[in-house]
Structure 1
């Protein structure tokens, strides 16, 4: 009993260290490769083959097909990726996850603990965030190897215990039926721990200790491909129809893979045996079986993505109209914070384009003396409402990003995005206020004469030009415009003072109606406030 307890403690301890190492490695890899992920995911829109390549690369980088698939579901849910593109990435993720198997067969278990120790020491003296993350990456790899070594040592005594040998022999594969049952055991274990790498590691350890044979090991490996789909399936709850289709596709693809292997199971394992002899290298045999299975499955499905997408669209009907969402931000993007941050910037940039349109509408309304019920005024109000909602959605997701363990650089970028989004929303507020003043004047049959319009348009053109400079600087990450921005802001302030003086001089001569006079001054003041907020954006960029 004591020996069995000791074995269990070693195996459970090794598994825990292995999983902790995997989590650390994946987390550090995402941070180290964060900017690269952004560039890699942009390729996916090209074609399905590139989509498969993207899935492979991202999964190798983050060391988890589940993370890749959940991320893809987030992108589909946010309408940043269509269903066919997502299916290509999922096929690639299935291939990319097999890299873990080849990592596990390296005979470096005894070096795991020293490697983790070296990583920890380097991390203590690292001065940059990047250096600390690289040390965590090294420590994570070391813990993976150390955990595998502990599991191997833990399983070793089982070979001398008849009751355990007899128990494992019950999982022996003798035909299609038993292969299916063993595969379901692998699927169940993977679904429980939600880590295919853990199931694969345990399978390799059991096989290397002779507790299960090659045929049984392959069946478990086939099953873990089905079990790993549970993560994506759970992530699709509450998602849009297209995201659910992507999750279901992941399950369908992997179940289909198991179904085509089972009828030719003996032929398949014999073929793998000609590539890697299981009697010489059982670990390599299982890793090869895992890789060839997923590569073959991807080849079979790569030409069936469109029919599969069409089938899923029939299986899962389109969503009913629900609460309108104004951005492509999605909580599932928190799996890859760097991409969520980049998408936030794109959303704020989109509001920038709306602001330019809003300013155009404002000038057109005043210039043409349009009705207070004109489409142009309605468009300015619509943009302001949209900016309010974008600000809310940006704040909600990015507040969660700030709660994650991300590099200080990304913390600063996230805070800047939130603050600049607030300033952009304020710009739409002032455009709306100008239109409200104008509408109030129209209601009282008061018209801005050509002198008042000249004052307004002098400020308007300067403000519109200022915003063009500021928005382009934000989009291109060009913070080196402070001197030019301060000059433009100062020029606008001087224009405001000049227009205000002209207005007061005319008041002394003409004695205009009070409402018209105050309305004109309000409009001038709102343009000055627009300039102030634009200068604040530049100041935020330079923090």
Structure 2
């Protein structure tokens, strides 16, 4: 048995003794457990719909900071899970689909959205016997969970999750009411500044233990409604819950890349700053709560609603104060948190945290394939005896046709094992573990095929090198010229693809991919000496021997396959899937004038046939 498990065993034993000693505590603890389980089930239900609604909304509603704030608040209110919204945001940020400033806006809004749970609990959960609603929700939810339909199964998880939440709240409320009859925990309340700091610490610890500030707030409101804690102590607990949730954010960002860790750091800065503001100006906030409560008609002794109002006010104040400094915060995080150099055998964009967010995971994999292309680009360039810097500069066919000054032989197998195979294996393993359906499954297949196309291009480059190196120094000028042409055509193709990849990485939405690739494809077809008849001319004119013709024909085929595989890879990876989908839809859609022309042609043809018939 490992020693690191001893604290857990000790804590479980201590909890077991406490539960045996106090049936009332057992009821409260069971309520907390059922509530947390309900949150997990509810989150699982909403995850069923990720890869669709939430991702599309996130991408469309974060081009402005205020939209990101609104999305974070509304999505958290709808899902009652700031962790789900945070995970999706971190995944999209890590995949490069969002900027850091946009992600910060969503996280700020999510913090405000978490206050909705306190309002629902204080305004509805305390006064209504919600256990009566829990049972039907659980029944219908479980029935739907056993359905084969993914959407119905997701809806079942959502219903069951809400049912468990209601049931957990019921048991917590019953437990605290039972405590009220036997033990008055309010007698142990600590007032003044010591009580403020003590209960802030308790709120932080409770949030870290339960991994949910939402659960801490619900537990606080339940205890407050039963009179087991005082109003001021409850306020301190809510501040502690806000600060404590930063620990869960840091834990959640542990498997993310540098972009996700920067967002987690922004989350910590916001929550700690907001908590300090609430702590320093707590008297001012209490006055504001009393004033706004009178405007809203909240009774002066309705401490549960006033707690919800306090929680909303200090989070809203934090947003108002922090929003003007978002750009400076982004600069600070990008300056202070630099990414560590990635090794050849580790990914830069994909991470385990994205597996539950298919859209972001596929986009991150596409970016990893761009990295793999860079490595294949360098290797094939060396096989062709080009410098990578030479192919990345503005150049022309004439410049690339110049004979290389020094010819080197590249150990393709060794470079493949060291530079390409490790990342390729990680990409394939990641795709194999990615749960996708529908059009996402088609996108996954596209990426897997693109990765294989890239590997095939590298393997063909290895075979091409065997005859190309001696032929570049051959005495036969015609043979040498043909190999120089193969080298030049592939070099120009690499140059063009590298330029397009750089624009794709920069997010150039004006990249006319299909048109540029079609032009390159036409040039490849025109340069095929087997099909254009040039090989036959060389043989008939006796300018190359039959043996040389066989080698040239094979190597031309290798060059042709390299080019075709690289173009196929580019079509699948150089544009985000959303742009590819949009272009496909646009290509399939007919404009109104095109529809009218087709109908006129059909009518005209029909009229001619009618006139010719007897």
Q: TM-score normalised by the shorter chain: which range applies?
A: 0.7 to 0.9
Aligned length: 508
Asked if the contact 1:84–1:305 (Cα under 8 Å) also holds between the matched residues in 2, the reply is yes
Which residue is equivalent to 2:451? 421
Query: Given the superposition, is the C-alpha separation of residues 365 and 70 from structure 1 closer, same or farther in structure 2, using an over 3 Å criterion?
Result: farther
Match of 2:220 among 198, 203, 214: 203
Distance 1:417 1:281 in 2: 57
Asked if the contact 1:226–1:254 (Cα under 8 Å) also holds between the matched residues in 2, the reply is yes
Tell me the CA shift for residue 507 of structure 1.
3.8
Matches within 5 A, 1:148-159: 148-159=169-180
Tell me the CA shift for residue 123 of structure 1.
3.2
- SS for the counterpart of 1:303 is helix
Superposition RMSD in Å = 4.9
Tell me the CA shift for residue 243 of structure 1.
4.7
Tell me the CA shift for residue 229 of structure 1.
0.6
Which residue is equivalent to 2:593? none
Asked if the contact 2:199–2:237 (Cα under 8 Å) also holds between the matched residues in 1, the reply is yes
- SS for the counterpart of 2:134 is helix
Matches within 5 A, 1:367-378: 368=401, 370-371=403-404
Tell me the CA shift for residue 102 of structure 1.
3.4
1:268 counterpart = 2:298? no
- SS for the counterpart of 2:404 is coil
Asked if the contact 2:256–2:353 (Cα under 8 Å) also holds between the matched residues in 1, the reply is no
Matches within 5 A, 1:28-39: 28-39=45-56
Match of 1:254 among 250, 256, 271: 271
Query: Given the superposition, is the C-alpha separation of residues 109 and 445 from structure 1 closer, same or farther in structure 2, using an over 3 Å criterion?
Result: farther
Match of 2:44 among 16, 19, 27: 27
Which residue is equivalent to 1:401? 434
1:117 counterpart = 2:139? yes
Larger Rg: 1 or 2? 2
Distance 1:83 1:264 in 2: 30
Tell me the CA shift for residue 143 of structure 1.
1.6
Tell me the CA shift for residue 439 of structure 1.
3.8
- SS for the counterpart of 2:146 is helix
Match of 2:116 among 99, 110, 127: 99
Asked if the contact 1:73–1:246 (Cα under 8 Å) also holds between the matched residues in 2, the reply is yes
Asked if the contact 1:188–1:227 (Cα under 8 Å) also holds between the matched residues in 2, the reply is yes
Q: Deviations over 1:25-72 (max 9, x none)?
A: 112213214323333343576343333334334534654333444554
Tell me the CA shift for residue 261 of structure 1.
1.6
Distance 2:544 2:242 in 1: 79
Output the TM-score relative to the length of structure 2.
Answer: 0.67
Asked if the contact 1:102–1:284 (Cα under 8 Å) also holds between the matched residues in 2, the reply is yes
Match of 1:318 among 338, 358, 376: 338
Q: Deviations over 1:202-238 (max 9, x none)?
A: 1121122221233222221111011111122234447
Greater relative contact order (CA < 8 Å, ≥ 6 in sequence): 1
Distance 2:416 2:324 in 1: 43
Asked if the contact 1:98–1:287 (Cα under 8 Å) also holds between the matched residues in 2, the reply is yes
Which residue is equivalent to 1:510? 542
Distance 1:184 1:287 in 2: 19
1:519 counterpart = 2:551? yes
1:42 counterpart = 2:59? yes
Matches within 5 A, 1:426-445: 426-427=456-457, 429-430=459-460, 433-434=463-464, 437-444=467-474
Match of 1:194 among 183, 187, 211: 211
Asked if the contact 2:401–2:485 (Cα under 8 Å) also holds between the matched residues in 1, the reply is no
Tell me the CA shift for residue 512 of structure 1.
2.5
Query: Given the superposition, is the C-alpha separation of residues 156 and 279 from structure 1 closer, same or farther in structure 2, using an over 3 Å criterion?
Result: farther
Asked if the contact 1:184–1:223 (Cα under 8 Å) also holds between the matched residues in 2, the reply is yes
Asked if the contact 2:145–2:152 (Cα under 8 Å) also holds between the matched residues in 1, the reply is yes
Tell me the CA shift for residue 182 of structure 1.
0.8
Matches within 5 A, 1:67-78: 67-73=84-90
Q: Deviations over 1:242-280 (max 9, x none)?
A: 654433332232122122222332332343244443666
Tell me the CA shift for residue 437 of structure 1.
4.5
Distance 1:497 1:368 in 2: 20
1:12 counterpart = 2:34? no
Gaps of 5+ in 2: 1-17, 382-389, 502-508, 578-614
Q: Deviations over 1:374-421 (max 9, x none)?
A: 99x9xxx9999987565344224333424xxx6576556435533443
Distance 1:63 1:436 in 2: 62
Which residue is equivalent to 2:201? 184
Asked if the contact 2:28–2:175 (Cα under 8 Å) also holds between the matched residues in 1, the reply is yes
Q: Deviations over 1:465-495 (max 9, x none)?
A: xx9xxx9xxxx9xxxx9xxx9xx99x98xx8
Distance 2:459 2:398 in 1: 17
Query: Given the superposition, is the C-alpha separation of residues 450 and 91 from structure 1 closer, same or farther in structure 2, using an over 3 Å criterion?
Result: same
Query: Given the superposition, is the C-alpha separation of residues 447 and 133 from structure 1 closer, same or farther in structure 2, using an over 3 Å criterion?
Result: farther
Asked if the contact 1:326–1:386 (Cα under 8 Å) also holds between the matched residues in 2, the reply is no
- SS for the counterpart of 2:281 is helix
Gaps of 5+ in 1: none
Which residue is equivalent to 1:297? 318
